Amino acid sequence: MSKLYFKYGVMGSSKTAEALMCRFNYIQKGFNVLLLKPNIDNRFEQEDDKPKIISRIGISAECTKFSKDEDLSILFIKENLKQKIDIIIVDECQFATTEQIEQLKQISYRTTVLCYGLLTNFKTQLFEGSKRLIELADSLQEIKSVCKCGRKASVNARFVNGKLTTCGEEILIGAEESYESMCYWCYKQRLKNK
């Protein structure tokens, strides 16, 4: 039975690596996988490259990108005409719109959809796509990571010029140069000391 899955974690919790390993596993068993990511995620891309999803540990795969105003139901139909799609895997799903998550829910009645992404932004507030996934997903699974202190990391803290910030646009594409995952206690301590 097809379902909509949401697997979430903080930055650096190996969400993308897990998504790519999941893709490999399905392909190895003979399934056709449609790998998707929002086009806002342009890390690691060169202009002449085909779109790819690349994890920090170096594994990658070609993917199909979608824009904020794209109807994922139509995209699915087009891709399904090329070859039957058995599984859809979406990386960085937090950047999807409410409508796109609702489209993925509809698709999940026919085809399994696995979404991987962040739960909250650097202000500890839910992303639009993540909020709707919590409301609609058939299965929620946290991919755990650890703070430097040893506690479970739950915050994607943003740093500008080495200083923790809670100001700025919600989306700033980056990695270790801009973000650190930490527990809420360490996050609050850093906020007090800034």
Q: Active-site positions?
A: 92
Query: How far is 47 from 80, CA to CA, in rounded Å?
Result: 27
Q: Which of 105, 78, 93, 127 is nearest to 3 (CA)?
A: 105
Q: Which of 51, 44, 54, 109 is nearest to 76 (CA)?
A: 109
Say how many C-beta atoms besides its own lie within 10 A of residue 108's C-beta: 21
AA identity, residue 153:
A
Query: How far is 110 from 92, CA to CA, in rounded Å?
Result: 22
